[in-house]
Amino acid sequence: MKYSHLLVARDGDGVATITMNRADVLNALSATTVQELDRAVDEMTNDHSVRVVIVTGTGKAFVSGADISEIAQQDAVSGADLSRRGQRVFRKLETMGKPSIAAINGYALGGGLELAMACHIRIASDRAKLGVPEVGLGVIPGYGGTQRLPRIVGRGVALDMILTGRALAAQDALRVGLVSQVVAPEELDGAARTLAARILRNGPVAMRAAMESVDYGLDNGFEAGCRIESSLFGLLCASDDMREGVGAFLEKRRPHFEGK
Protein backbone atom coordinates (compact mmCIF):
# COMPACT_ATOMS: atom_id res chain seq x y z
CA MET A 1 0.00 0.00 0.00
CA LYS A 2 1.05 3.60 -0.56
CA TYR A 3 1.05 6.08 2.32
CA SER A 4 1.59 9.83 2.35
CA HIS A 5 1.85 10.34 6.15
CA LEU A 6 3.51 7.05 7.15
CA LEU A 7 6.50 4.94 6.26
CA VAL A 8 5.87 1.18 6.48
CA ALA A 9 8.78 -1.24 6.25
CA ARG A 10 9.50 -4.90 6.94
CA ASP A 11 12.92 -6.26 7.82
CA GLY A 12 12.30 -9.82 6.62
CA ASP A 13 12.81 -11.32 10.07
CA GLY A 14 9.27 -10.91 11.34
CA VAL A 15 9.49 -7.23 12.35
CA ALA A 16 7.60 -4.39 10.68
CA THR A 17 8.03 -0.69 11.43
CA ILE A 18 5.34 1.98 11.11
CA THR A 19 6.94 5.44 11.17
CA MET A 20 4.95 8.65 11.52
CA ASN A 21 6.36 10.77 8.71
CA ARG A 22 5.20 14.39 9.02
CA ALA A 23 8.29 15.85 10.64
CA ASP A 24 7.45 19.36 9.39
CA VAL A 25 4.43 19.41 11.76
CA LEU A 26 6.02 17.20 14.44
CA ASN A 27 4.00 14.23 13.16
CA ALA A 28 0.68 15.71 14.27
CA LEU A 29 -2.22 13.27 13.98
CA SER A 30 -4.46 14.53 11.20
CA ALA A 31 -7.55 12.66 10.06
CA THR A 32 -5.54 11.39 7.10
CA THR A 33 -2.80 10.10 9.38
CA VAL A 34 -5.33 8.19 11.46
CA GLN A 35 -6.90 6.73 8.31
CA GLU A 36 -3.52 5.62 7.04
CA LEU A 37 -2.65 4.13 10.42
CA ASP A 38 -5.90 2.17 10.24
CA ARG A 39 -4.86 0.74 6.87
CA ALA A 40 -1.33 0.00 8.08
CA VAL A 41 -2.59 -1.91 11.11
CA ASP A 42 -4.87 -3.96 8.85
CA GLU A 43 -1.89 -4.64 6.59
CA MET A 44 0.25 -5.80 9.51
CA THR A 45 -2.56 -7.92 10.94
CA ASN A 46 -3.10 -9.76 7.67
CA ASP A 47 0.60 -10.24 6.88
CA HIS A 48 1.53 -13.55 8.49
CA SER A 49 5.24 -12.84 8.00
CA VAL A 50 4.95 -9.96 10.50
CA ARG A 51 5.08 -11.01 14.16
CA VAL A 52 6.15 -7.78 15.93
CA VAL A 53 5.35 -4.17 15.02
CA ILE A 54 7.48 -1.17 15.99
CA VAL A 55 5.83 2.27 15.93
CA THR A 56 8.03 5.38 15.87
CA GLY A 57 8.35 8.85 14.35
CA THR A 58 10.67 10.95 12.22
CA GLY A 59 12.47 14.07 13.38
CA LYS A 60 11.98 15.54 16.84
CA ALA A 61 8.64 13.91 17.60
CA PHE A 62 7.00 10.54 17.99
CA VAL A 63 3.65 12.31 17.60
CA SER A 64 3.22 15.83 18.97
CA GLY A 65 -0.55 15.49 19.32
CA ALA A 66 -3.70 15.88 17.27
CA ASP A 67 -3.93 18.37 14.43
CA ILE A 68 -5.25 21.41 16.34
CA SER A 69 -6.62 23.06 13.21
CA GLU A 70 -8.93 20.06 12.75
CA ILE A 71 -10.04 20.06 16.40
CA ALA A 72 -10.95 23.74 16.10
CA GLN A 73 -13.60 22.86 13.50
CA GLN A 74 -15.44 20.26 15.60
CA ASP A 75 -18.86 20.51 17.22
CA ALA A 76 -20.46 18.15 19.73
CA VAL A 77 -21.42 15.52 17.15
CA SER A 78 -18.36 15.64 14.92
CA GLY A 79 -16.05 15.81 17.93
CA ALA A 80 -17.51 12.62 19.39
CA ASP A 81 -17.17 10.93 15.99
CA LEU A 82 -13.54 12.08 15.71
CA SER A 83 -12.81 10.63 19.14
CA ARG A 84 -14.48 7.31 18.35
CA ARG A 85 -12.55 6.92 15.09
CA GLY A 86 -9.24 7.39 16.87
CA GLN A 87 -10.28 5.07 19.68
CA ARG A 88 -11.24 2.38 17.16
CA VAL A 89 -7.93 2.55 15.30
CA PHE A 90 -5.82 2.56 18.47
CA ARG A 91 -7.83 -0.33 19.89
CA LYS A 92 -7.29 -2.23 16.65
CA LEU A 93 -3.53 -1.82 17.12
CA GLU A 94 -3.83 -2.94 20.72
CA THR A 95 -5.84 -6.07 19.87
CA MET A 96 -4.21 -7.13 16.59
CA GLY A 97 -2.78 -10.21 18.30
CA LYS A 98 0.83 -9.21 17.59
CA PRO A 99 3.08 -7.43 20.12
CA SER A 100 3.73 -3.78 19.35
CA ILE A 101 6.57 -1.59 20.60
CA ALA A 102 6.40 2.21 20.74
CA ALA A 103 9.90 3.57 20.17
CA ILE A 104 9.35 7.10 21.45
CA ASN A 105 11.99 9.22 19.77
CA GLY A 106 10.80 12.65 20.91
CA TYR A 107 7.60 14.45 21.83
CA ALA A 108 4.71 12.08 22.61
CA LEU A 109 1.96 14.48 23.57
CA GLY A 110 -1.82 14.21 23.53
CA GLY A 111 -2.78 11.78 20.79
CA GLY A 112 0.88 10.84 20.51
CA LEU A 113 1.02 9.49 24.05
CA GLU A 114 -2.36 7.86 23.47
CA LEU A 115 -0.90 6.07 20.44
CA ALA A 116 2.15 5.00 22.44
CA MET A 117 -0.08 3.67 25.23
CA ALA A 118 -2.02 1.58 22.71
CA CYS A 119 1.26 -0.24 22.00
CA HIS A 120 2.08 -3.12 24.33
CA ILE A 121 5.57 -1.95 25.32
CA ARG A 122 7.03 1.56 25.36
CA ILE A 123 10.70 2.51 25.26
CA ALA A 124 11.94 6.08 24.99
CA SER A 125 14.85 8.23 23.99
CA ASP A 126 16.23 10.21 26.92
CA ARG A 127 15.13 13.32 25.02
CA ALA A 128 11.48 12.27 24.90
CA LYS A 129 8.69 14.23 26.57
CA LEU A 130 5.41 12.51 27.38
CA GLY A 131 2.14 14.15 28.38
CA VAL A 132 -1.56 14.72 27.81
CA PRO A 133 -1.99 18.52 27.68
CA GLU A 134 -5.53 18.57 26.23
CA VAL A 135 -7.12 20.38 29.19
CA GLY A 136 -5.09 23.42 28.19
CA LEU A 137 -7.16 23.48 25.00
CA GLY A 138 -10.42 23.06 26.88
CA VAL A 139 -10.88 19.39 25.96
CA ILE A 140 -9.76 16.02 27.36
CA PRO A 141 -7.77 13.15 25.88
CA GLY A 142 -10.10 11.58 23.32
CA TYR A 143 -8.29 8.55 21.90
CA GLY A 144 -8.46 6.39 25.02
CA GLY A 145 -6.04 8.38 27.14
CA THR A 146 -8.31 8.77 30.17
CA GLN A 147 -8.69 4.98 30.25
CA ARG A 148 -5.22 3.67 29.42
CA LEU A 149 -3.15 6.14 31.45
CA PRO A 150 -4.60 5.23 34.89
CA ARG A 151 -4.34 1.54 34.01
CA ILE A 152 -0.63 2.01 33.32
CA VAL A 153 0.53 4.49 35.97
CA GLY A 154 -2.33 4.46 38.51
CA ARG A 155 -5.17 6.88 39.16
CA GLY A 156 -3.21 9.48 41.12
CA VAL A 157 -0.35 9.93 38.67
CA ALA A 158 -2.76 9.81 35.73
CA LEU A 159 -4.97 12.55 37.17
CA ASP A 160 -1.90 14.63 38.01
CA MET A 161 -0.77 14.42 34.37
CA ILE A 162 -4.24 14.96 32.89
CA LEU A 163 -5.34 17.83 35.16
CA THR A 164 -2.06 19.76 35.04
CA GLY A 165 -1.23 18.93 31.45
CA ARG A 166 2.43 18.66 32.41
CA ALA A 167 4.81 16.57 30.34
CA LEU A 168 7.14 14.05 31.91
CA ALA A 169 10.79 13.75 30.99
CA ALA A 170 11.79 10.26 29.90
CA GLN A 171 13.38 9.32 33.22
CA ASP A 172 10.27 10.42 35.12
CA ALA A 173 8.14 8.37 32.72
CA LEU A 174 10.37 5.40 33.53
CA ARG A 175 9.98 6.01 37.25
CA VAL A 176 6.17 5.90 37.10
CA GLY A 177 6.09 2.92 34.74
CA LEU A 178 4.88 4.76 31.64
CA VAL A 179 7.90 3.44 29.73
CA SER A 180 9.98 0.37 30.50
CA GLN A 181 13.34 1.52 29.14
CA VAL A 182 15.17 4.79 28.41
CA VAL A 183 18.15 4.91 26.07
CA ALA A 184 20.26 7.48 24.25
CA PRO A 185 18.65 8.75 21.02
CA GLU A 186 21.15 6.96 18.81
CA GLU A 187 20.43 3.68 20.62
CA LEU A 188 16.63 3.77 20.35
CA ASP A 189 16.22 1.89 17.08
CA GLY A 190 18.68 -0.79 18.14
CA ALA A 191 17.00 -1.16 21.53
CA ALA A 192 13.59 -1.58 19.88
CA ARG A 193 14.94 -4.20 17.50
CA THR A 194 16.73 -6.05 20.29
CA LEU A 195 13.47 -6.15 22.23
CA ALA A 196 11.60 -7.34 19.12
CA ALA A 197 14.17 -10.08 18.57
CA ARG A 198 13.74 -11.24 22.15
CA ILE A 199 9.97 -11.40 21.67
CA LEU A 200 10.35 -13.32 18.41
CA ARG A 201 11.98 -16.24 20.23
CA ASN A 202 8.67 -17.09 21.88
CA GLY A 203 5.52 -18.86 20.76
CA PRO A 204 3.16 -16.55 18.80
CA VAL A 205 0.04 -18.39 19.91
CA ALA A 206 1.10 -18.10 23.55
CA MET A 207 1.84 -14.39 23.14
CA ARG A 208 -1.59 -13.73 21.67
CA ALA A 209 -3.17 -15.62 24.55
CA ALA A 210 -1.10 -13.74 27.12
CA MET A 211 -2.16 -10.36 25.74
CA GLU A 212 -5.79 -11.46 25.65
CA SER A 213 -5.63 -12.72 29.23
CA VAL A 214 -4.06 -9.51 30.54
CA ASP A 215 -6.60 -7.30 28.76
CA TYR A 216 -9.57 -9.39 29.84
CA GLY A 217 -8.50 -9.40 33.48
CA LEU A 218 -7.92 -5.64 33.54
CA ASP A 219 -11.38 -5.04 32.09
CA ASN A 220 -13.33 -7.68 34.02
CA GLY A 221 -11.57 -8.13 37.35
CA PHE A 222 -9.21 -10.61 38.98
CA GLU A 223 -11.51 -13.62 39.33
CA ALA A 224 -12.79 -13.38 35.75
CA GLY A 225 -9.21 -12.88 34.59
CA CYS A 226 -8.10 -16.05 36.35
CA ARG A 227 -10.91 -17.98 34.69
CA ILE A 228 -9.91 -16.87 31.20
CA GLU A 229 -6.26 -17.53 32.08
CA SER A 230 -7.06 -21.16 32.97
CA SER A 231 -9.08 -21.64 29.78
CA LEU A 232 -6.34 -20.22 27.60
CA PHE A 233 -3.67 -22.22 29.44
CA GLY A 234 -5.65 -25.38 28.73
CA LEU A 235 -6.03 -24.56 25.05
CA LEU A 236 -2.31 -23.88 24.77
CA CYS A 237 -1.52 -27.25 26.33
CA ALA A 238 -3.15 -28.84 23.26
CA SER A 239 -1.20 -26.71 20.75
CA ASP A 240 1.65 -27.71 18.46
CA ASP A 241 3.62 -24.74 19.80
CA MET A 242 3.41 -26.08 23.35
CA ARG A 243 4.67 -29.50 22.24
CA GLU A 244 7.51 -27.84 20.34
CA GLY A 245 8.42 -25.52 23.21
CA VAL A 246 8.41 -28.24 25.87
CA GLY A 247 10.19 -30.68 23.58
CA ALA A 248 12.91 -28.14 22.79
CA PHE A 249 13.42 -27.44 26.49
CA LEU A 250 13.77 -31.14 27.32
CA GLU A 251 16.09 -31.68 24.36
CA LYS A 252 18.15 -28.59 25.25
CA ARG A 253 17.67 -26.85 21.91
CA ARG A 254 16.01 -23.67 20.71
CA PRO A 255 12.33 -24.12 19.76
CA HIS A 256 11.02 -23.54 16.26
CA PHE A 257 7.47 -22.25 16.68
CA GLU A 258 5.04 -22.31 13.75
CA GLY A 259 2.17 -20.48 15.39
CA LYS A 260 -0.13 -23.48 15.65
C-alpha to C-alpha distance for 47 and 186, rounded to whole angstroms: 29
Catalytic residue of the set 134, 212, 229, 258: 134
**Secondary structure (3-state) at 26:** coil
Q: Chain centroid to CA 228: how far?
A: 23
Residue 134 bears catalytic tag:
yes
Mention every residue, 6+ apart, whose C-beta is less than 8 A from residue 1: 8, 39, 40, 43
Catalytic residue of the set 114, 212, 229, 251: 114
C-alpha to C-alpha distance for 245 and 86, rounded to whole angstroms: 38
Whether 63 contacts 18, CB under 8 Å: no
Mention every residue, 6+ apart, whose C-beta is less than 8 A from residue 191: 103, 123, 181, 183
Mind giving me the DSSP string for 185-204?
A: GGGHHHHHHHHHHHHHTS-H
The H or E element spanning position 101 is: strand 100-104
Which residue type, as a one-letter code, is found at position 57? G
Q: For 251, which DSSP code?
A: T
Going by C-alpha positions, the residue among 109, 157, 161, 165 that lies closest to residue 133 is 165
Residue 244 bears catalytic tag:
no
- Give the catalytic positions in this structure: 114, 134
